[in-house]
Chains A and B, each alone.
Chain A
Amino acid sequence: EPEVTQTPSHQVTQMGQEVILRCVPISNHLYFYWYRQILGQKVEFLVSFYNNEISEKSEIFDDQFSVERPDGSNFTLKIRSTKLEDSAMYFCASTWGTSDSIQYFGPGTRLTVT
């Protein structure tokens, strides 16, 4: 069964450094998402991406965040200058269509900012 994959599984970085989290969505899917879960808190929506542009973003997704689909398979989340409070589990998801279609999630990348 096709699945969403994410790399790396765990990333440790120093405050102020740039990180790129990578995701490979399911191949025929058209919509892509990033969510994050800070330890002990709810999973929060960050951004959705369709047709090579951001279709929706939350207030969390500020100028230090960016997303890109650099080729036909990868979907990346870049954090330009990491802060301690960016430490979280980051989940990528994808879906093929309509608003109630199932979002398929990857296993997550645990980002630790020291």
Chain B
Amino acid sequence: AQSVTQLDSHVSVSEGTPVLLRCNYSSSYSPSLFWYVQHPNKGLQLLLKYTSAATLVKGINGFEAEFKKSETSFHLTKPSAHMSDAAEYFCVACMDTGRRALTFGSGTRLQVQP
């Protein structure tokens, strides 16, 4: 069975410091992987996606993620946090079996302290 695990339910950083949100996946197939962000009372917005073209993926707002097959990980990073980055972040997988249903991680709430 496929699954996505986000290792931290809450992460708190200071403004200007690096962000690391961790994600591991489990799948028998090569997945497409995504990070979505949800700000309060807003829909889920795509930050970036990995689809096997390059292991380091750059997204919007300075975020990037690295796919590591050997570690089955897809951690999200940003060099310098901004107050506006405070939100819920979801690691999401689409297993490459022809199915289109997305499998979500449980989410990580990022808090940015001034």
Contact = CB atoms under 8 A, between A and B. Distances in A.
A31 interface: yes
Nearest to B106: A42
Given A43-B90, A100-B49, A56 B43 contact: no
Interface in A25-44: 31, 33, 35, 41-44
A42 B43 contact: no
B98 A99 contact: yes
B44 A99 contact: no
Contacts, number: 59
A105 B100 contact: no
A48 B98 CA distance: 12
A52 interface: no
A100 B44 contact: no
Contact of A107 (B32, B43, B46, B98): B43
Interface string A78-114: 0000000000000101010001101111111000000
Contacts of B106: 41-42
A29 to B, nearest CB: 12
Interface of B: 32, 34, 36, 41-46, 49, 51, 90, 94, 96, 98-107
